[in-house]
Amino acid sequence: MKRGCPEGWCAAEAYREGVYRFLLTPRWWGINIFAVLAIPVCLFMGSWQLSRFDDRVDRHHEQQEQSRSAAHAKARPLASLLPVTEETVGRTAKVTGRFDAEHPLLVPDRTVKGERGFYVLSLLRTDDTGDGKALPVVRGWLPGDPDPARVPAPPKGEVTVRGALQASESQNDAGDHASGALPRDQLGFINASALVNIVPYGVEGAWLTEQRTREPLKPVPPAAPEGTGLDMKAFQNLGYTAQWFVFAGFVVFMWFRFFRREAEMAKDAALGLLPEGEFPQEETDPGSGAEETGQAGGEDRDDPADGVTRAADPAPAPEGAGSRSRSPA
């Protein structure tokens, strides 16, 4: 304590000067650097996941609009929309050619508006693809089990087909009852690789779904490509967004919790209010404790020569202590 300094003022000065000095320790340097790096990273990752979700919402709205207007939208030449991308999926395309009546195909176990049925698929031989490959065209949908007798024959001669452009399907798009062995005139999913052993010519890696069909066929609504729209993966992005923001908040919460605890302990130590043993003591010379122990009177000590513990010499009594404690005769 400084000379001439009131006790309260000295305590306050010690508090101001030393209570936050723990922030300069190596331990707190590591904590601070971790917090400074972790918080921006968590915020960036959360914002990125949120932007992914926003993109899927916008794409979902675009697909709904395209689906509603597919029957009346202005058709573009097929060659201008190939190869299929996320931007061209669902666009209305037109293509001219002749249907292959020798290879009619059905795609079983497909649901439209909650009702189970099958697609009617025909291959259009055309030169509009640029490489002479045939284009799969879904001419419509019928309810119930696949039955070739219920399917109307495709138009004869050269025709111009208009429909929504779709990307090739995968085996995951096949119905539950269409994943095993199927009859030769049936197809589990619409893909060029699945058609290679059925027809003797090449097939384009895209397909059209006609929106103006002939009775009794019903139009098949355009489907969103895999990885777009409001599917489970989109909501997974939203969950990751919340998770990263929670991580950032947790880092801030734990930093303030550690800081408050350390500051309170430092304040109590500066004011002398901390119980003994709760706050780390300053490092001392290891030999000083042994010297103090050896100098204390009335304590036992070990003689290293013979290993026998002997009582320590009693501390010398102050001069005149005996005469003061002696009773008068």
pLDDT computed for residue 54 by the predictor:
87
- Give the list of residues 6+ apart from residue 15 with CB closer than 8 angstroms, or none: 267, 270, 271
- Mean pLDDT score, 157-181: 82
Residue 9 pLDDT grade (very low, low, confident, very high; cuts 50, 70, 90): low
Give percent above pLDDT 90 in the chain: 38
Phi/psi for 292 (5° steps) reads -65, -35
**With 60 as the cut, is the pLDDT of residue 278 above it?**
no
- Mean pLDDT score, 31-45: 94
pLDDT computed for residue 281 by the predictor:
45
pLDDT computed for residue 71 by the predictor:
57
Average per-residue pLDDT for the chain: 78
**Lowest-confidence segment of 39-48, 70-79, 90-99 by average pLDDT:** 70-79
pTM: 0.57
User: Closest Cα to residue 154, out of 132, 133, 142, 138?
Assistant: 138
**With 80 as the cut, is the pLDDT of residue 93 above it?**
yes
Q: Where are the domains of the chain?
A: 7-55+233-270, 73-221
**With 50 as the cut, is the pLDDT of residue 308 above it?**
no
The string of pLDDT tens digits covering residues 124-162 is 999 887 788 999 999 999 999 999 999 999 999 999 999
State the SS3 of the chain. Answer: CCCCCCHHHHHHHHHHHHCCHHHHCHHHHHHHHHHHHHHHHHHHHHHHHHHHHHHHHHHHHHHHHHHHHCCCCCCEEHHHHCCCCCCCCCCEEEEEEEECCCCCEEEEEEEECCEEEEEEEEEEEECCCCCCCEEEEEEEEEECCCCHHHCCCCCCCEEEEEEEEEECCCHHHCCCCCCCCCCCCECCCCCHHHHCCCCCCCECCEEEEECCCCCCCECCCCCCCCCCCCCHHHHHHHHHHHHHHHHHHHHHHHHHHHHHHHHHHHHHHHCCCCCCCCCCCCCCCHHHHHHHHHHCCCCEEECCCCCCEEECCCCCCCCCHHHHHCCCC
The string of pLDDT tens digits covering residues 187-216 is 989 999 888 888 999 999 999 999 888 889
